[in-house]
Amino acid sequence: MAVQDSKKKIINRLRTLKGHISGIEKMIEDGKECEEILIQIAAIKSSIHKIGTIIVEEHALECLLKEETDEPMDKEKVKKVIKTLINYAK
């Protein structure tokens, strides 16, 4: 996936997320049932996770596959990508 396509996909997901958050605000103002609100919150959590996954994937691909030489991959760069993945997974 091209970087521009990824950016567009992420931006669209973030805009959708904003709409969901506004919807939850309205649900709370309207006194909707807790169960309905929690279902929407779970959907938002899932959406945030998906956005993070897309960003982590792009970061890893960009850092690890952008090598233009036949040189061995820089050990520090690999460590940095692994640290990013671990921090995201927490």
Alpha carbon separation from 37 to 46, 60, 73 (Å, rounded): 14, 35, 47
Domain count, the chain: 1
The residue segments making up the domain with residue 20 are 3-89
> Looking at residue 54, what is its pLDDT?
85
Burial per residue of 64-79, b for 16 or more beta-carbon CB atoms within 10 angstroms, e otherwise = eeeeeeeeeeeeeeee
pLDDT value at residue 71: 65
pLDDT (tens place) for every residue of the chain, 90 residues total: 566 788 888 899 999 999 999 999 999 999 999 999 999 999 999 989 888 888 888 877 777 776 566 666 778 878 888 888 888 777
pLDDT of residue 73: 72
Please choose, from the candidates 17, 2, 6, 4, the residue with its C-alpha nearest in 3D space to the C-alpha of residue 56.
6
Cα 78 to Cα 71: distance, rounded to the nearest angstrom: 14
- CATH number for the domain spanning 37: value is 1.20.58.1000
